[in-house]
Structures are given as structure tokens and as C-alpha cells.
């Protein structure tokens, strides 16, 4: 697959010229005193600086999502949380080989006999990027802030609602006391932040951590620069306890148009492309066989669903938004399940790069994956779907249109991500299938789906989350506790589900330490979610992504056997990435292997060619993860 071009030819001559120029200046200075040496010195300094840039190894990742917040207390999007895994250590991590829990900031953790008190030993060799030591006090402060500040609990509050008390008896000892047993204590997916930095924040609900750089952290990378809807730049943390990353810089560059991102990969302007959230079959096919490009196609950790607005509500009991009244009827929701042909979507839209959906948790996580029984399954059956709609009282009028109780024709608005080609393609099929039942569909494909979503101003919405080996987070977002406090607030809820039976099961699984017993309860939760018809999981898409082998020599997938690179449950891919041999340049004068060809402060520098291109792409996508 790699091209066997003559190495160095595109790089050697510029370096010799630069060296010769520097030598000439030195010789001139030795023979005679120039009238004005400053310009010559400046020129030599500029050349030296340029040479340093040319030898810099930058890994540029093209992403289809923009950052929602650089605050780990607020961020929920996959890009943002993935970046936080690079910036901050968690108490524990997941092994890239098979996803089992391994030490992170904590080297070990032990429960008391009643499992209500957990003691974590905090490593002594982790330091913040400003030189201060990371201690148990930082962890205790992080958790206490989440326990006492509603704004700080926005993203990960479900982990601490059962905490009674958190203390740090010493710099290396963290003690967490629980109200009742909690199964997630061995995998608390919460970024630990430096107290001496974050204690200055006044309003956690509004602070996005995006005004002062570099941002202090203790992960493998330090965030050095950020431009909204454009890029995020990070450099290696040289003091990271596990060892510094091998690339000199990591850049996440936002592309609203994924065909443009693929073209950038093909031209060598980026190192890696993730897709939205994966490459389309056409994009992947176009890259296979390309010189110096490898396509990674593996089972993913995401589900792809059509979510229902169940009637947006807040914890204070107030309802808001304008979801369709008919969707409050369970028979209607189940009829919509039966109107969708999942096999056609897998064959026609995903073209085999996905598995038919059903249960909430993808099959990759076999312990918790659930499938409905034959008698329970809401399989594709348009005739039965029509019968359910009739039985629910939503019959067709003289024009063949089904009508709401107020007499108006049913026309569901489906929120659609403008950057996701799957949403648009699936949307057309759904429009056709629902139309045959007498139900109208309007696809609202927006750059910003967040605003109408949080306001409850939608009927249905294309939805998808990345699931972790510890499933608590994706389970908690459908509990009543995740609802916003008031209609004006932002909660952790996905789409305003509040179901008493589901909540009872959630509490049971959270208190169950036995993995097999807990898994059985989680599957009951998935069954309940399926029966209610709120979350129509249509597919489990593969992770289809691609990278340049002349820039990236090797990179870790997770899990090791048939895993993904982008959006891992950890920092393994970008931390492990090895630059390709810098001597391997193509003979046509294009940039040498591993040399910077990514974004540099709004300008893309094509090293070895000397051409400059203005960065043009700006976007405002609001993809939910």
C-alpha cells in the first residue's frame, strides 16, 4: 500500500540551501563588519525557526464535531470528552486490549467490608503541567464541588449523587463514603481537575475553560490553543507519568463538510479522518487502495436511534416545548418502531458497515447487550403498525392522512444533524415509510440541533451516544433525576424520559456489585426502554475511519482486536501514535513523512513546497454525543 518513492529528495535540498545560507552569513560576518548586521541576524533566526517547524511532527485529526465546552463539568459531546481524557487523569482507566479497569490517577482501590467506604491510593508521580503535584486533595475537591454545586454536576453528576462524604486524609489517600452500595466505584469516569486552578471559578454553569492557555492538566497532553468551530491544539505533557506522547503536537481540526475532510486526507493536509461520526461507505470505498492510506473498519461503541419527545418536563413538574400529542401514546410509538425496516437501512444506507439495532447497549459490550425475544420484538410490519395506529385512535381521514386529536394532520418534525449524511439518508426512508401510514414527516436538518432539543421543540430526533465499558452514564441520562431543575435549566437528560419503573431498575443495578446480577438488571432496563418505545435503536454503526501511513507509523486501537481509534474510552490512540520516519518523503516534492501539514494558527503550511493556504472552514455544528 505504501509508495516506494525516493526518500529525502523533497526535503534535502531546502535544508542544504538553508544551511548554506546560514554558513554564508557566518562567513561574511567573519570577513567584514556589515553596516547593518540586524537584518542578516533576523534572517538567520527566521531560517532556523522555519527549519524547526519543518522538523516538527504534528498529528492532525479531521473531526465532524465542534467542542461544546472545554469544561469537564459541562462537556457531553464525544470530541470534548475525548479531549478531556487527554488533558486530565481519571481515578481509573480502561485497558486498551480488552476494556478491563486498570489504574489511572489511583494505583489501587479497596472497599470496606460493607462496601460503603472506598479508599483509593493516589499515585505520587503525577504532576500538573504547571509543576505542582497532583494529589488526593485535588480529587476530593473535584468530587465535593460536584456534590455541592449543581452547575459542576451537569455532565457527570450521576456518579456522585450517592456520595455521602469525600475526604483526603493524606496526599496519597482518597476516601469516599457512600449512602448505599454503588457498582461504579471501580470505574468513576470523572476527570480530576487541579484545585488550585478551579477553585477560582465563580459560576461552574457558565465557565467553559476556553479563555486562558495553556490549560493546566496532568494527562498525556496539554491544551495550548483553541478556536471555536475551527481547531483545538495540544502538545505533549513531558512530565506525564506513563511517558510523553511521541508526536510534537496534536490538532483536532473541524470540518463541516466530510467530503472535504476526506479530500484533505487524500492530499495529506490531515493525518486522520473520523467521519460524521464514521466515514460513509462511499467515502471509505474511495480511500481503499489509495497510496499511504489505511481504512480502519471495526465494530463500534455507538448506537444510532430515533428518539421520541415524551413531553419535555422539568423536575419542578412544569412541562415545556411543543412535542406532538400523539407521541404520548405508547401504541403510536410502538407503531413507529414497526414502520422502520432496519435491514434496509443496514443494506442501503450503511451498506453492511453496521449491525441491526434493538437493545440500547451495542453488542460490542456483550455483558450488557440485550435483544428482545421473538414475542417481544417490534419487527418491521407496516400492516400491524397501521392496526396499532387505528387502535390508538389515530385513523386516516378522507385524504388518507392520520390526524391528531385536534383534527390537524400528523406531521412529525425530525431533528437531523446537517453534518451527518446518515441522518439525511435515513430520514428519506423514514419519510417514505411513515408516509405510507398516513403520517407526514418534516426533516429539520440543522447545524445547531442543541437549542431546539433542549427547548423540547421537536417531535423525533436522530440520536446516538458512545457507550463505555461501564454503562452507568448512558443509563442515567434517561432517569427522572437527569431532568433539568426548571425549564430554563440544562439537565443531563437525553430526551426528557422519566419513567418510574425504569428508575427503580436503575437504582437496583447501581447498588449491585455482582456483575452477572447487575447485567441482568441492566437488560431489564433495556427491555423497559424498548417496550415504552421512547428510543428506537435502529443500528450499531461500525467505526469506519482512515489515516495516512506516511504520517502515522502505528497507532493503538481499542479494543486491540477490531477496535476503534477515534473516540476511545481512554487516551491510548493519540498517546501511543508513532510518527512515520521523517526521512520518508515522496519524490514529487510533497511534504515529508510525519512533518507538519496541519493547521497552524489559521494557516495550513505545506512543508517542502512552501505554499500557504488560508484556513477557510468555519462551522457551528452542535452534534450531540
Assess contact for 404 and 326: CB atoms under 8 A.
yes
Q: Which three cell numbers stand for residue 223?
A: 491544551
Average pLDDT over residues 238-255: 98
pLDDT band, residue 433 (cuts 50/70/90): very high
Superfamily of domain 1-67+79-84+219-298+556-625: Periplasmic binding protein-like II (3.40.190.10)
366-402, pLDDT tens digit by residue? 999 999 999 999 999 999 999 999 999 999 999 999 9
Average pLDDT over residues 352-368: 97
Q: What is the pLDDT of residue 327?
A: 98
Task: Return the axis-axis angle of helices 330-338 and 382-391, rounded to nearest 10°.
Answer: 170
DSSP for 330-382 reads: HHHHHHHHHT--HHHIIIIISTTSEEE--SSS-TTSTTT-----TTT---S-H
332: pLDDT strictly greater than 50: yes
Q: What is the pLDDT of residue 594?
A: 33
Superfamily of domain 302-541: Dipeptide-binding Protein; Domain 3 (3.10.105.10)
pLDDT band, residue 15 (cuts 50/70/90): very low
pLDDT band, residue 50 (cuts 50/70/90): low
Q: What is the DSSP letter of 406?
A: T
Q: Which three cell numbers stand for residue 316?
A: 419542578
Q: What is the pLDDT of residue 55?
A: 83
Q: Which three cell numbers stand for residue 525?
A: 432496563
458: pLDDT strictly greater than 90: yes
Q: Which residues contact 175 (CB under 8 A, 6 or more apart)?
A: 117, 118, 119, 120, 166, 167, 168, 169
254-302, pLDDT tens digit by residue? 999 999 999 999 999 999 999 988 999 999 999 999 999 999 999 999 9
40: pLDDT strictly greater than 80: no
Closest by Cα among 265, 336, 252 to 294: 265
Mean of the per-residue pLDDT values of the chain:
88
Average pLDDT over residues 31-55: 55
Q: What is the pLDDT of residue 591?
A: 30
Average pLDDT over residues 551-573: 97
> Can you list the positions of beta strands (E) in 228-337?
231-236, 249-254, 272-273, 293-298, 302-308
Average pLDDT over residues 72-101: 97
Cα(160)–Cα(62) distance, integer angstroms: 34
Q: How many CB atoms lie within 10 A of CB 583?
A: 12
Average pLDDT over residues 602-606: 33
Q: What is the pLDDT of residue 471?
A: 97
Cα(564)–Cα(262) distance, integer angstroms: 18
CATH of 89-198, one of 2.40.50.180, 3.30.300.30, 3.90.76.10, 3.30.470.20: 3.90.76.10
pLDDT band, residue 460 (cuts 50/70/90): very high
Residues of the chain with pLDDT > 70, as a percent, come to 84
Q: What is the pLDDT of residue 10?
A: 33
Cα(322)–Cα(221) distance, integer angstroms: 43
Cα(414)–Cα(436) distance, integer angstroms: 17
5 or 380, which is more confident: 380
Average pLDDT over residues 106-135: 98
Q: What is the pLDDT of residue 581?
A: 81
507: pLDDT strictly greater than 50: yes
Residues of the chain with pLDDT > 90, as a percent, come to 83
Assess contact for 110 and 211: CB atoms under 8 A.
no
Q: What is the pLDDT of residue 544?
A: 98
Closest by Cα among 521, 424, 594, 425 to 8: 594
pLDDT band, residue 49 (cuts 50/70/90): low
Domain definitions of the chain by residue range: 1-67+79-84+219-298+556-625, 89-198, 302-541
585: pLDDT strictly greater than 90: no
pLDDT band, residue 530 (cuts 50/70/90): very high
**Where are the alpha helices (H) located in 36-135, listed in sequence order?**
38-55, 78-87
23: pLDDT strictly greater than 70: no
Q: Residue 414: beta bridge partners?
A: 443, 460
Cα(519)–Cα(58) distance, integer angstroms: 42
Q: Which residues contact 166 (CB under 8 A, 6 or more apart)?
A: 139, 140, 143, 144, 147, 174, 175, 176, 177
CA angle 568, 573, 577 (to 5 degrees): 170
pLDDT band, residue 38 (cuts 50/70/90): low
Average pLDDT over residues 321-341: 98
pLDDT band, residue 553 (cuts 50/70/90): very high
2 or 319, which is more confident: 319
Cα(597)–Cα(69) distance, integer angstroms: 26
Amino acid at each position: 500500500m505504501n509508495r516506494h518513492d525516493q526518500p529525502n529528495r523533497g526535503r534535502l535540498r531546502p535544508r542544504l540551501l538553508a544551511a548554506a545560507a546560514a554558513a554564508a552569513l557566518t562567513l561574511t560576518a567573519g570577513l567584514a563588519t556589515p553596516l547593518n548586521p540586524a537584518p542578516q541576524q533576523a534572517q538567520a533566526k527566521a531560517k532556523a525557526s522555519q527549519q524547526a517547524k519543518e522538523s516538527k511532527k504534528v498529528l492532525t485529526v479531521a473531526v465532524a464535531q465542534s467542542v461544546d465546552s472545554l469544561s469537564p463539568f459541562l462537556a457531553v459531546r464525544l470530541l470534548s470528552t475525548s479531549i478531556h481524557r487527554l488533558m486530565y487523569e481519571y481515578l481509573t482507566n480502561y485497558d486498551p486490549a480488552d476494556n478491563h479497569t486498570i489504574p489511572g490517577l489511583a494505583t489501587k482501590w479497596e472497599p470496606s467490608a460493607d462496601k460503603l467506604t472506598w479508599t483509593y491510593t493516589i499515585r505520587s508521580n503525577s504532576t500538573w503541567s504547571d509543576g505542582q503535584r497532583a494529589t488526593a486533595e485535588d480529587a476530593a475537591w473535584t468530587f465535593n464541588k460536584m456534590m455541592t454545586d449543581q452547575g459542576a454536576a451537569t455532565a457527570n453528576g450521576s456518579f456522585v449523587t450517592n456520595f455521602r462524604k469525600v475526604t483526603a486524609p493524606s496526599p496519597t489517600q482518597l476516601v469516599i463514603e457512600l449512602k448505599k452500595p454503588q457498582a461504579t466505584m471501580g470505574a468513576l469516569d470523572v476527570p480530576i481537575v487541579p484545585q488550585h486552578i478551579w477553585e477560582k471559578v465563580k459560576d461552574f454553569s457558565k465557565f467553559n475553560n476556553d479563555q486562558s492557555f495553556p490549560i493546566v492538566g496532568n494527562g498525556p497532553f496539554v491544551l495550548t490553543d483553541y478556536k471555536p468551530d475551527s481547531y483545538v491544539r495540544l502538545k505533549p505533557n513531558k512530565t506525564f507519568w506513563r511517558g510523553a506522547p511521541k508526536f510534537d503536537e496534536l490538532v483536532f481540526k473541524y470540518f463541516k463538510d466530510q467530503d472535504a475532510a476526506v479530500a484533505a486526507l487524500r492530499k495529506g493536509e490531515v493525518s486522520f479522518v473520523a467521519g460524521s461520526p464514521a466515514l460513509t461507505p462511499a467515502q471509505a470505498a474511495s480511500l481503499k487502495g489509495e497510496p499511504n492510506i489505511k481504512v480502519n473498519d471495526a465494530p463500534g461503541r455507538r448506537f444510532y436511534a430515533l428518539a421520541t419527545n415524551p413531553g419535555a418536563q422539568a423536575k419542578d413538574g412544569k412541562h415545556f416545548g411543543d412535542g406532538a400529542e400523539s407521541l404520548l401514546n405508547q401504541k403510536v410509538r410502538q407503531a413507529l418502531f414497526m414502520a422502520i425496516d432496519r435491514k434496509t437501512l443496514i443494506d442501503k444506507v450503511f451498506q453492511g458497515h453496521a449491525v441491526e439495532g434493538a437493545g440500547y447497549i451495542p453488542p460490542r459490550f456483550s455483558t450488557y447487550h440485550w435483544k428482545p425475544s421473538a414475542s417481544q420484538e417490534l419487527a418491521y410490519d407496516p400492516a400491524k403498525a397501521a392496526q396499532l395506529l387505528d387502535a390508538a385512535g389515530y385513523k386516516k381521514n378522507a385524504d388518507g392522512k392520520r390526524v391528531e386529536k385536534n383534527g390537524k394532520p400528523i406531521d412529525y418534525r425530525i431533528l437531523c444533524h446537517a453534518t451527518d449524511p446518515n441522518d439525511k439518508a435515513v430520514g428519506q426512508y423514514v419519510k417514505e415509510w411513515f408516509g405510507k401510514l398516513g403520517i407526514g414527516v418534516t426533516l429539520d436538518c440543522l447545524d445547531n440541533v442543541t437549542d431546539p432539543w433542549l427547548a423540547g421543540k421537536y417531535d423525533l430526533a436522530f440520536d446516538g451516544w458512545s457507550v463505555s465499558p461501564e454503562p452507568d452514564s448512558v443509563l442515567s441520562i434517561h432517569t427522572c433525576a437527569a431532568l433539568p431543575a426548571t425549564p430554563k435549566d440544562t439537565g443531563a437528560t437525553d430526551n426528557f424520559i422519566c419513567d418510574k419503573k425504569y428508575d427503580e431498575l436503575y437504582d437496583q443495578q447501581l447498588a449491585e456489585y455482582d456483575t452477572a446480577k447487575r447485567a441482568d438488571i441492566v437488560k431489564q432496563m433495556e427491555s423497559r426502554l424498548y417496550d415504552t418505545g421512547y428510543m428506537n435503536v435502529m443500528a450499531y454503526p461500525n467505526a469506519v475511519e482512515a489515516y495516512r501511513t506516511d504520517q502515522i507509523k502505528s497507532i493503538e486501537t481499542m479494543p486491540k482486536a477490531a477496535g476503534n481509534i477515534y473516540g476511545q474510552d481512554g487516551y491510548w490512540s493519540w498517546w501511543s501514535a508513532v510518527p512515520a520516519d521523517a526521512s520518508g518523503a515522496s519524490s514529487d516534492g510533497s511534504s515529508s513523512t510525519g512533518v507538519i501539514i496541519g493547521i497552524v494558527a489559521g494557516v495550513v503550511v505545506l512543508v517542502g513546497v512552501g505554499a500557504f493556504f488560508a484556513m477557510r472552514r468555519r462551522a457551528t455544528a452542535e452534534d450531540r454525543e
